[in-house]
Structure 1
Amino acid sequence: MRASETWQPDVRAVMDASPFLGRAAVDMTDPEFIAAARARGPLPESVEGVEITETTLPGEDGHAVPVRVYRPTTPAPGRPAYVLFHGGGWSFGSLDTEHPRCVELTRRCGAVGVSVDFRMAPDVPAETMLADCWAAVRWTAERDDVDAARVVVTGSSAGGALALSMAQIARDRGAVPPALQLAFYPNTDDRVHPSRLSPAFPVIDGQQVAQVVANVRQGRADTPAYVFPNRTTDLSGLAPAFLLVAGNDPLRDEALAYARRLVAADVPVELHLLPGIPHAFDGIAPESQSTRTAYDLMCAAFDRAVRPR
């Protein structure tokens, strides 16, 4: 598929007006770029219906993991919840990266949200990053205002990969499984899939995907367990999945491959391929119809997954 032939007009108009998307691709292994791309602003003000605070939770090695908590302003016990892992190639991004999506989930779904500032590659091994994320899942499930059986793991891009990884870890550790693993345009693999080879896909390209994979692998000969979800051999018994894939995205084919493997493993899967949109489209064009469609699908799937049985 040629990306240039299948664009959603409102998304394309935003991209054409951007002074950044047409510039030369950055090196995602460059320490200066990584540092700049991790920067974040002050705590956002609470918005109507959503209280926003920040705190830390205890990590598995004693590290205090920073988190941003989103709570409905109307108190209620046993709410559904989500644990969100931000995108950024496992190497950058911050609590600001997915802020609009957190507000959307909390306001529309009445859910307590925990957005996680996990330690990232290449500063730490993949196992440390996964441990921070798993500590956040456990901490969220143990909250007094949360129903542990109605916790969703979610994220986009590499954060979507981490959500898929958490579902695998929950299964293998015998923990309460997430009610749903909900991923937007996720990384799933360190191997090259056909869509990574398209030169027409904007925002990120296949070379940059390889760079962030290199940040995670850090020259290791082995493949770290869980961090690339499509490397896990057995996908049976995982929590239900919702995958939203962007049509004009180098990660498209690996996400579709993972969805097919979930189906083959008898895991309930809801898959949406939105044509004519690039990687990270909701951040690029938050007011577009494509973003509204994606958020409507997300919230509907969330509500179905956490509905009391």
Structure 2
Amino acid sequence: MTTTPAAVFRPLRQRVSASAFHPELRRVSRFLPNTLVTPVTVWAFARLPRIVRPHPNTDAITLPSGLAVRVHQPSVASTPGGAALLWIHGGGYVLGSAAMDDGLCRRLAEELGILVAAVDYRLAPAHPYPAALIDCYETLTWLAAHPEVDAKRVAVAGASAGGGLAAALALMARDRGEVDIAAQILLYPMLDDRTAMRRDADRGLRRLWNNASNALGWSAYLVGADPHIAVPARRGDLRGIAPAWIGVGTLDVLCDESYSYAERLREADVECRLEVVPGAFHGFDAVAPESAISRRFLTSQCTMLRDRLRISTKG
């Protein structure tokens, strides 16, 4: 059998590709797809039954509008009448649910000793912009008015599309002036729809999220919307919004826009802490939550939240 040049060099290319990943992620990266979000998976996930395991410190509540919120209480609160966090799940604006992040939300609640509320916002394409953002804002105002919460010690956080919604929510809160957000925690956030319009030279290194899924998510979300209003990175004035923490991996297709947004925040005199993880792909902390780099990633977020929410350090 004749061996083709492609067959000869394929193992070499695979080794070179693998070396780009952080050593703690190299093994798992071999088994992950370039993306989990495609038209087929969006269709399938929408039809899968939701399996939610009960937890004694987690309550599923329904707001008067019918919006579902999962509320995670810590076993021991840091202070009575204290701080709270609104968590916004990812899924490219087109899939996901609040329950899928129960583990992370409970971890944050216990680590920080605060109430964590996760919103089940409406998904595109059935509910394009501004439906999800309106749901997030409704939950934010409900949380700020909660009897167990100090309205001046509320932060917002989210991953991927949830990070993009958290950034948009910080802008909406500034513009409306009803809730003074203490911090915005943005994990590999979807901030700029223009990324999906560009050619991705590193597409072979993407895991779980690539430019095709990025384009799918943004196109479903922005139907008929003005991107200069709906997209955080397109907003002209970033002054006066909540201090930010932005975390992203260097192999994430959203890395450059995270850098750019952090730079613009600093230019607008907004405190911004940028955590960049070499060799990490999109959602790496969810895939390998117990790895050292994922633990450091979470610790960095918690440090920002303790500082901005005035939470005493444990121990």
Structures share fold, TM-score greater than 0.5 = yes
Partner of 2:219: 214
Q: Give 2:63's aligned amino acid.
A: L
Partner of 1:33: 44
CA distance in structure 2 between the aligned counterparts of 1:169 and 1:114, rounded to whole angstroms? 19
| Structure 1 residue 6: Cα displacement | 2.8
CA distance in structure 1 between the aligned counterparts of 2:35 and 2:21, rounded to whole angstroms? 21
- Higher strand residue share: 1
Partner of 1:262: 265
Aligned ranges 1:121-200 → 2 under 5 Å:
121-192=124-195, 196-200=200-204
Partner of 2:301: 298
| Structure 1 residue 195: Cα displacement | 8.3
Q: Deviations over 1:231-284 (max 9, x none)?
A: 111001111000011111111111111111101111000111011111011111
Aligned ranges 1:77-92 → 2 under 5 Å:
77-92=80-95
Does structure 1 conserve the Cα–Cα contact (< 8 Å) formed by 2:252 and 2:282? Answer: yes
- Higher helix residue share: 2
- Find the partner of 2:29 among 15, 38, 52: 15
| Structure 1 residue 4: Cα displacement | 4.3
1:53 lines up with 2:63 in the alignment:
no
1:243 lines up with 2:246 in the alignment:
yes
Question: SS of 2:278's equivalent?
Answer: strand
Q: Under a length normalisation based on structure 1, what TM-score does the superposition of the two structures give?
A: 0.88
CA distance in structure 1 between the aligned counterparts of 2:17 and 2:177, rounded to whole angstroms? 42
Question: SS of 1:77's equivalent?
Answer: coil
Question: SS of 1:143's equivalent?
Answer: coil
Q: From the superposition, tell whether residues 140 and 196 of structure 1 become closer, same or farther in structure 2 (CA, over 3 Å).
A: farther
CA distance in structure 2 between the aligned counterparts of 1:121 and 1:32, rounded to whole angstroms? 12
Question: SS of 2:96's equivalent?
Answer: coil
- Find the partner of 1:72 among 71, 74, 78: 74
Q: From the superposition, tell whether residues 22 and 166 of structure 1 become closer, same or farther in structure 2 (CA, over 3 Å).
A: closer
Does structure 1 conserve the Cα–Cα contact (< 8 Å) formed by 2:112 and 2:306? Answer: yes
- Paired residues in the alignment total 294
1:275 lines up with 2:278 in the alignment:
yes
Q: Which runs of 5+ in 1 are unaligned?
A: none
Q: Under a length normalisation based on structure 2, what TM-score does the superposition of the two structures give?
A: 0.86
Identity of aligned residues (%): 34
CA distance in structure 2 between the aligned counterparts of 1:52 and 1:30, rounded to whole angstroms? 28
CA distance in structure 1 between the aligned counterparts of 2:41 and 2:75, rounded to whole angstroms? 41
Q: Which runs of 4+ in 1 moved over 3 A?
A: 2-5, 22-26, 28-31, 193-197
Q: Which has the larger radius of gyration?
A: 2
Does structure 2 conserve the Cα–Cα contact (< 8 Å) formed by 1:196 and 1:251? Answer: no
